[in-house]
Amino acid sequence: MGGVTSSMAAKFAFFPPNPPSYKLVTDETTGLLLLSPFPHRENVEVLKLPTRRGTEIVAIYIRHPMATTTLLYSHGNAADLGQMYELFIELSIHLSYDYSGYGQSSGKPSEQNTYADIEAAYRCLEESYGAKQEDIILYGQSVGSGPTLELAARLPQLRAVVLHSPILSGLRVMYPVKRTYWFDIYKNIDKIPLVHCPVLIIHGTSDEVVDCSHGKQLWELCKEKYEPLWLTGGNHCDLEHYPEYLRHLKKFISTIEKSPSQRYSSRRSTDPFEQPRKSTGVFEVARKSTDRREKPRKSTDRPEKLKNQTNNMDKLEKLRISFDQLERSRRSVDCHKKSRKSINHQLERARKSVDRLDRIRTG
């Protein structure tokens, strides 16, 4: 039954370009694999990688000698390497791959196959190029957020994650369900709390395929939040055309590269990755509904965090005002409770009086 359901879900989730946008050819002189019709580049290698599920996927590796991190890109559900090639060159993506059944990769697309596909790509980075877990950034676009988070949840020393127009789960793209069902695919909503590294989320506010609420809810569930990018007017497949996209992505990677590569599970949300979110107001506008829900929590949590920060008078003053507001609210609630007790007492006395009157009548 589960296999049948997964097969049905796959029909809604995967749309590989048909025909593929590229062909694999072998250079007669060098014996190297080439992506046709693109001209050969000295810093680009075309690879065929075997997966644990018996398929063989096509991948491209782009050398960037000066880079200190390695970016592994999982593309969306309606693209292949040929369509994304020039963008990968521009973004300095190190390794990207086609899912099973996409482009010139063998097999058929499925949730489990994409998990095996990204594992093969990650293993290639480690074994063939010497990349270390703590220096790798996983990037997942749309349905690519599924394999990205599946792998990220199992790599405790991962450097960072980028989620581009991500989904909460496959079923939630079609229906606003409130719980996770066993037959759902790509249950990102359950996996993102298991990711221990900084997470950047990018989503368009006018996304007609995957609503922006998916990205915002995933961001709320992140353990290590980085300043998100909500692109006003952005749709599902055009975010790369916004100047803010490339600028924000490069800022994130630069911040990550400057930070210590060793990750610690005890890391608090007060680290440098949280600070930019507090200092900017552009993306906070889109979070008004969640901010209203969080304000009471912030006003009670902050005193514990700021007891030893006596040098920050501005924050303490804001904290005192918030605490005073909370105290007034508490007193108001106490008054309501006292009024309710008084009313209950009066009702009890009236009930006893009626009982006595009934006894007199019956006597």
Tokens of 56: 């063989």
The residues pairing with 162 across neighbouring beta strands, listed in sequence order, are 139, 200
Burial track 348-362 (b if 16+ CB lie within 10 A, e otherwise): eeeeeeeeeeeeeee
**Whole-number Å distance between alpha carbons of 314 and 322:** 13
Q: Around 137, how many Cα atoms within 13 Å sit in the side-chain half-sphere?
A: 25
In the annotation, is 142 catalytic?
yes
The residue annotated as part of the active site, out of 142, 165, 169, 299, is 142
- Strands 229-231 and 198-204 turn out to be parallel
Whether 320 contacts 285, CB under 8 Å? no
Give yes or no: 236 in active site: yes
User: What is the distance of C-alpha 293 from the center of its chain?
Assistant: 21
Q: List C-alpha distances in Å: 182 to 3, 4, 255, 327.
A: 12, 13, 38, 45
Out of 207, 211, 248, 299, which one is annotated catalytic? 207
Question: From CA 130, how far away is CA 67, in angstroms rounded?
Answer: 13
Q: Which of 135, 236, 248, 299 is catalytic?
A: 236
The helix (run of H) or strand (run of E) holding residue 13 is: helix 2-13
Please give the Cα distance from 338 to 353 (Å, whole number): 23
Q: List, by residue number, the catalytic residues.
A: 142, 207, 236
